[in-house]
Amino acid sequence: MTMRTEYDVVVIGGGPGGIGAALGAARAGADVLVVERYGFLGGGATAMMVNPFMPFETGGRQIIHGVLQDMIDRMTAMGGYGTAKGPRSFDTEAFKIAAEQLLLEAGVDIVFHAFLADVQLEGSTIQSVRVATKDGMKTLKAKQFIDSTGDGDLAYLAGAPTEKGRQQDGLAQPMTLCFRMAEVDIDAMPPRKEISEAYVQAKAAGEIQCPREDILYFFVPQPNVVHFNQTRVIKHDAVDPVSMTAAEIEARRQAWQIAHWLIKNVKGFEKAYLQSTAAQLGVRESRRVMGEYVITAEDLFTARKFDDVIGCGCYPVDIHNPDGEGTVIQRIPPGEWYDIPYRSLVPLKIDNLLIGGRCVSSTHESHSAIRVIPIVFAIGQAAGVAAAQCCQSGDQPRNAAITKLQAELLNQGASLGDFQLKAAAGK
């Protein structure tokens, strides 16, 4: 395998958004490269070990398909998706392999162990990016670029406007280091409420120092394994390396402390052990890239539909307190969904760049809903299709032909809510 230096589309980041972007672009006819800093794909789903998928059904209807469904089908065939106790859980290793298979089958080039370092601009156009590798700095050129870093790294380095955190003080949602306990007697575990009550008492007694207010765990495909989304690291900045270093250290301290408290105090964990922690902290919120449209909480609560819809979501506003304890969940109307508009993927000031991840243009509140993996898959796929079509037409993303984009998304199996229903009815 050789590393080429010029493509139609270069995707920075191989998480769910990057996977969606690469497949969307390649299936729409583009020559695509994915650049990933780790030695595997998956991002939040693998490096951060976020599990399971959050809901993507409402009113008895699945509202996200496309690349998300491709991944589910591939992992299911591998025996790596869903259990009776965790119907949307997945095997992290199966996820990595399924993603690689799908990208390679689509003709996508992948380069691992490459970290975005710099951007070269000419006016408002990205001419190339520089990535750091073990073999030195490499320059990559493309007609269109997609930022699927999750943190808006490419957009930020290119000079696109970004925001961080909530309006009143700039604090972002806390980060969580996911961890797993193995050899758990799951049938012997007390009810979740009872474990949470014991946890609260342990905090009050000084046995545990963790800002989270209760116990949060999930079941995964592996037998006798329990997945904890439990640690809470507050008042740190996910795009500040010094702050992030301190956050990682604090998160591992919390994980070790909570794991051994479980072993000592909770029925079913007597023979359990800390099996693994994620390769990196799970980041809920960092930069948000300001675009042609800013998605608001009101858009979500009113289940707003957009003419330039490129994907749908139903996950609620879910804000883990940036200051400490507490989680605010505000749901959208039952059976409803909200649209993600294409304009929120188009950053201000930069011409040949699309956002294919959780850092699309949104407020702190709305970001807390659209950040989840199923929605990010849909956002990425749309960014990829738009980038490929812009390569073919010569247009820049802000001038993309929306109806052509939507038609290709439907052709690729994506779901577009009411637009899809109207298209099927010939309206």
Mean pLDDT along residues 194-207: 98
Given this model, what pLDDT does residue 427 score? 58
CA dist 59 to 71, 108, 140, 337, Å?
A: 23, 36, 45, 9
Given this model, what pLDDT does residue 3 score? 75
Amino acid at the residue 399: N
pLDDT class for 420, splitting at 50, 70, 90?
Answer: confident
How many whole angstroms separate alpha carbon 96 and alpha carbon 186?
27
Given this model, what pLDDT does residue 1 score? 56
Render pLDDT for 11-54 as a digit per residue (tens, 0 to 9): 999 999 999 999 999 999 999 999 999 999 999 999 999 999 99
Given this model, what pLDDT does residue 422 score? 73
Q: What is the mean pLDDT of the chain?
A: 97
Given this model, what pLDDT does residue 2 score? 67
| Half-sphere CA count of 21, side-chain side, radius 13 A | 38
Mean pLDDT along residues 197-201: 98
